[in-house]
Each structure stands twice: as C-alpha cells, then as structure tokens.
Structure 1
C-alpha cells in the first residue's frame, strides 16, 4: 500500500480484521427506502425504531455478523467514508420460496404452549427442526405459516462507514468485552503479560442475568479470535478500604491529675 492510499484513508482490510462500523440498513420498494436497522441514533429516531443501543458495531470480517455480501464490500471501504451497497434479493436474504410456506396441525403448536393467531411471528419446532415464521391463517385445526425470512424477496440497501480498524490486542479485547457486557466494559481492568490475559470485572455484574453464559461466550471469542492470548483469567473484584481507628486522647485535666498523683506517690513516706 502506498503513502497516497494511507492519506486517502485506504487501509488493507481482510478476513479476521476487527472494525468499528456504523451502518444504516433499509428495504427498497417502489423507489422508497424504509430503514429497518441502524447503529446511528438519529436515523433510528427518524425511522421510529426502538433500538436498545445505538453505537458503532464491532464487525470481525468474515464472522457473519453482517451479510456476507456487505462484509465483502467492507474490504474495499475507506476509513471514515460512507459506502452505499445495493443488494438484490439473492445477495441479501434470498428469494421467496413457496416451499417454505408450510401447514402445521394446530395441536402441534398447542403442545408447545403456542396459541396460533394470524399475523403473529412465532418460533416453533416442526419435524425435529426449530423454525421461525409468520402465521398466515388459522382454521380447521390447521395453521399456515410462512417461514421465509421477513425480508426475503426484497432489495436491501446498506450504507456503511468504517470508523476504525482495531490494531492492538488491547483494543480488540476491549471491543469484544464491550460486545458482551456493554457499558460495564468501561469499569473492567485488562492486563496482558506473556500471553496471559487477566480481566477484573466489577462485582455488580454478578447480578446480571445469564452472566455465566455471557462470560463463557466472551471467553470462547477470545480463544478463537485473539491469537496473542493463550491463558485467560477472569475475576470479579470488590474494593474496599477500612477506616483507620482513631485513639481518643485523655482530657488535659485528667493528665495533670495523673501526673500529680504519680509525684505524690513517689515522695518518701
């Protein structure tokens, strides 16, 4: 890569690279676009989306967090510049498949504690597989469910901006940690010595739901994606400082009385 490329914001991006990315994803129909996902708070508000966190996303190229077609285009992106990617259905969520519209006995859903109602999206098991789909009709003891992806058959437009390529081990670990424990990552202490990674987490995390599963998932991420780490230690830290005990001094009058008493007792009888 030339110096001119670096000055233009061009960096080499390949599979396994850690990127911080902003994106806006929209469905394009009849010349109009409707945003369905974004990391940009203003865009989420404009689209009326209720997204818990709007912040740059950690994308590990080739991991599959974004569509494969989008991740391939990221390899050609320039740091700090928006890039528009238009994906036809076959490169996005696939074409609609009529074979994915299935008929399921209502009793099969009742057995899974699912009350079928037209228009609802459900996750269910059918013939040994876990499926998700939208109920089209209910009647005669049968339920017709469309298990196509909700965006199947749609043209998708992605606008992506690579904010930063993470280079150091510390940056990558902190980004992975933030992916799993979010704002709590700011309170974590990270130390790396001789390929041994030690992370001290705030005690408040012990109260989080499924914390064991979350920590295990983070550990697996480090094991698979951070070659520089061979040993991982995770601990919860509780910091306190005991107040110093202050000895109360005797009143001055009492001190004088004691001294006088000592003098009297020292005189010969």
Structure 2
C-alpha cells in the first residue's frame, strides 16, 4: 500500500552535496566509514520516522509519499528546499575578549554556540574572530538516495520507533523497553540501561516530550507517562564454613566439614546437588 502523510516508516538514506559528491549524512555504517563520518556511539541502520512529521527535510517527506515498501528513490534538493541560501548577515565579527571571558581559545574550524545558534570560526585577525552562523550546507544543492525499508503497521512498534528516534542512547535495547496501553494512556518503561545515561536532565526531559508529542499528534492517545522504578537489591546470603574437603573415588579422601553438621562424603559415583541462590536485581 503506497505511503501517505502520517505513516510510520523506516528509511535508509545517504545525503551528498550534488556538485562534489561529498557525503554529509547516512544511515549506513559502511558508507559512514568510507566517508570518514563513522561515529562509534551512533546507531546505524534504517531510521523510524513519521512521514510529514518534520523528522527529515520536507522535500524528502514529499518525495516518499506514494512509494511502497522496498522502493528506492533519488531526491534532488535545492537550497530553497534544503538549508536555505547563504546569508551574509550571518557572518559576524566577535571580539576575542568574549571568547577569553568563557575561557576559550578559538581556532579556525571550531564550532561555537551563541544565543542558541551554532556557528563555525572562519578566521582570527588580531582581536577579532570571524564566525559564520550559516548552516554548513546552506547554498548547496543536495542529493539524497532513499530506500523504504519498512512500513510500520503495529501500534507498539510505532511507539518504540519514536523512542529510538528521539532517545538516541547507543546502548538502548528497544526490545527491553516495555509499552503498556490502557485506553487513551500509554505507559513507557525504558530499558534499565538508560538509568545510567549521562545526558543532562533537560536533554532527557526534552527527548521524552518529543516522543510524547509525536504519539499525541499521530496516534489516538491523550496521555503518555514514563515509569522509572528502582528496587532494593538484597545482598547475597553469606555462608560461614570452617573446613571444606572433597572426596572423589580414586583420589585421596577429603571431607566436607561444617561446624554443627555431620560429616558427608562425596564420590564420583554420587554427584553432589548444588543449590545456587540468586540475589534480586534492580530494574533502567
């Protein structure tokens, strides 16, 4: 069935600068390695998106509509439909003293953030630093090669897809994430490993908000809750043994002796029965 706006799909894609063939983004680990873009902490493979959900460029969303599972397409994206034309007003001179106040030593190519905008240092001349706040792909014609890996139909898989998209934690095992649906409410208990995420509280809250927003706007639910549970971990029971000796037929006889219990001999003909106590584990 052809893709429509609002559908949940998994896409593979590679983006290139059309004039040079330079790869700037990809979901393929192999392509990332070849292009020198590989990041060890990043998860590669088809990404889950909502078509028309502003997860990718609008030009890509529009081009995907009408495709079917397994289809591929080459999409040309002009600057107007991509990251805009370059704007000379976004190239600014910043006094060196502003960097020194922050304890920074600027250098050409360094990325900086000012008032929520990310820029790249172009040159340093005396006491002034030239910073370009244009997007690094502004003014460039782009080419995306896209493959529709899957059209997601299952409701729970759609929710898990949004978790994978917005909660980009490299060690997250989505199969250990629990989803409970009760009427108009969705309860999410993330994989326990996320309890050790080093992201800031603000970043985690924002990721959860984006997951919730996509669920509200694209699925028939009104409330999303995230469950964080911490259980007391019981210490492993300690056993106090005075002497331990083992007897095996054909070897020197040894005895297992525990204070207050009778002596017991164990031979190879009679296998000992072992009892293992497993402590409770906390659940993150």
Fold match, TM over 0.5?
Answer: yes
Partner of 2:150: 164
Whole-angstrom distance in 2 between the partners of 1:19 and 1:167: 9
8 A Cα contact 1:79 1:164, kept in partner:
yes
- What residue in structure 2 maps to residue 69 of structure 1? 59
Structure 1 position 150 matched with structure 2 position 128? no
Q: Give the corresponding residue for 1:12.
A: 3
Q: What is the deviation of 1:215?
A: 4.9
Indicate if the aligned counterparts of 2:112 and 2:120 stay in contact, CA closer than 8 A: no
- Cα deviation 1:67-90 (Å, max 9, x = unaligned): 121221121333212110112222
TM-score (norm 1): 0.74
**Equivalent in the alignment of 1:185:** 174
Report SS of the residue matched to 2:190. Answer: strand
Aligned residue among 161, 179, 194 for 1:205: 194
**Alpha-carbon separation, structure 2, partners of 1:164 and 1:208:** 29
Paired with 1:215 and 1:137, the residues of 2 have a C-alpha distance of 35
Q: Residue 30 of structure 2 is aligned with which of 29, 42, 55?
A: 42
Please say if 1:229 is aligned against 2:230.
no
Counterpart mapping for 1:1-269 below 5 A = 6=1, 11-14=2-5, 16-29=6-19, 32-51=20-39, 52-117=42-107, 119-125=108-114, 129-179=115-165, 180=167, 181=169, 183-210=172-199, 212-213=201-202, 215-226=204-215, 227-231=219-223, 232-236=225-229
Q: 2 CA distance for matches of 1:26 and 1:171?
A: 30
The structure that is strand-richer by fraction is: 1
8 Å contact kept, 2:112–2:121: no
Matches of 2:118 and 2:226, distance apart in 1:
38
CA change 1:102–1:215 in 2 (3 A) is closer
Contact 1:123 / 1:130 at 8 angstroms: preserved in 2?
no
Find the aligned partners of 2:25 and 2:151 in 1 and give their Cα distance. Answer: 22
Aligned-residue Cα RMSD (Å) equals: 3.0
Q: Closer, same or farther in 2 for the Cα pair 1:211/1:111, shift >3 Å?
A: closer
Runs (5+) with no aligned partner, structure 2: 238-257, 263-284
TM-score, normalised to structure 2's length? 0.71
Conservation of the 8 A alpha-carbon contact between 1:200 and 1:237: no
Q: CA deviation at 1:195?
A: 2.7
Contact 1:95 1:152 in 2 (8 A): yes
Higher helix share: 1
Gaps of 5+ in 1: 1-5, 252-269
Note closer, same or farther for the CA distance 1:120–1:67 as it changes in structure 2 (3 Å cut).
Answer: same
Runs of 4+ more than 4 Å apart: 211-215, 237-244
CA contact (8 A) 1:44 1:50 kept: yes
Flag the 1:77–1:241 CA change in 2: closer, same or farther, 3 A.
farther
